Amino acid sequence: MTTSNAPLPLPDLARFHEDVLAWFDDTARDLPWRRDASPWSVMVSEFMLQQTPVSRVLPVYTAWMERWPTPAELAAEPTGEAVRAWGRLGYPRRALRLHAAATAIVERHGGEVPRTRDELLALPGVGDYTAAAIESFAFGGRAVVLDTNVRRVFARVVSGDQLPANAVTAAERQVATALVPIQDAHRWAAATMELGALVCTARSPRCEQCPVAEICRWRAAGFPAYDGPARRAQAWEGTDRQCRGRLMGVLRDAPGPVPRTVLDAVWPDAAQRERCLDGLVADRLVEPVGEDELALPGHA
């Protein structure tokens, strides 16, 4: 599968840095978490952007930051309010984790997002990628930020592969670490992420617009097709995810507890509906109210 895992030769590496950063200076999107790259704004944006496109995140992020501009203000609200404000971003457990992270920040760090990797990783919902993103974008640290877009850029330009492996490998992280420039590491992280999101896309890469097309090993090899393990597309219609989304939509829109009879009308498959409701209760996204009603947490 891999043409070469070796980092680019030094002249090409310098060109990779210069050309990508220059392209980013000219074309970067004006995103609110870039204008205000405070630790909290970066954390909120990274939680929301997981598996969710920027276009869907923008209105929810803006409303969220207007309502809860600090961790303390979010932590003071019931968890159900975080779930309600999450709206239709999907994967609402992220809202619970963000609320839990805000609570931990208040309790352990005086309301300020911590700056060390270990302290960040100790927060609920913060993994390697999110910690690296906060360390880089908020604090200007020299962290290795590897999201899907960055991994795809490096796979193509450096390794000559159409797509990276399904999960980050040790070799891939080693290459990414070697690519981080000594200066402007935070801009490099944002620029490579932007390049993957806008130009070096998964399905229809715009190679004619790429600032580093001439040093891209995938292009030089004639664009060989991905030949790694099969990648399964996520189904949606009729899945438990769709059912849970429908149920959560009704609960979010209601001012208080919702009778089970109302939820029964949301999804026709009774067994699947009950399984999904049980899962939502187990995930603490929903609370039973008596025997016949359910509500968001804190809204019983």
Establish whether 77 is a catalytic residue. Answer: no
The active-site residue, picked from 46, 81, 172, 287, is 46
Reference 286, options 261, 262, 266, 257; nearest CA is: 257
């404000």: which residue's tokens?
85
Q: What is the CA angle 100-106-110, rounded to 5?
A: 155
The β-bridge partners of 288 are 294
Residue 93 to residue 106: CA distance in whole angstroms: 20
78 to each of 102, 105, 297, how far by Cα in Å?
A: 12, 16, 7
Active-site residues: which are they? 46
